[in-house]
Amino acid sequence: MSLAWEGGRHPGWPARLGPLRVAAGLVALRPPKLFDASAWSRVRLRDQAYLEDWEPTAVEGWHERNAALSWPPQWSSLKSLARRGQALPFVITVDGALAGQITVGNIVRGSLRSAWVGYWVAADRARGGVATAALALVVDHCFGEGGLHRLEATVRPENQASLRVLAKAGFREEGLFQRYLDVAGDWRDHLCFAMTAEETSPEGLVRRLVAQGYARTA
> Is 90 exceeded by the pLDDT of residue 3?
no
CATH code at 6-217: 3.40.630.30
Q: What is the mean pLDDT of the chain?
A: 94
pLDDT digits (tens, 9 = 90+) for 82-94: 999 999 999 999 9
> Is 60 exceeded by the pLDDT of residue 2?
no
- Residue 8: the pLDDT is 54
- Residue 10: the pLDDT is 80
Half-sphere exposure of 58 (CA within 13 A, CB side): 12
124, 25 Cβ separation under 8 angstroms = no
**What distance in Å separates the CA atoms of residue 177 and residue 82, rounded to the nearest whole number?**
27
What pTM was estimated for this model as a whole?
A: 0.94
**What distance in Å separates the CA atoms of residue 183 and residue 127, rounded to the nearest whole number?**
23
Domain boundaries, the chain: 6-217
**What distance in Å separates the CA atoms of residue 154 and residue 183, rounded to the nearest whole number?**
12
Amino acid, single-letter form, for residue 151? L
Half-sphere exposure of 14 (CA within 13 A, CB side): 11
| CA of residue 119 relative to chain centroid, distance | 4
DSSP characters for 60-105?
S-HHHHTSGGGHHHHHHHHHHHHHTTS-EEEEEEETTEEEEEEEEE
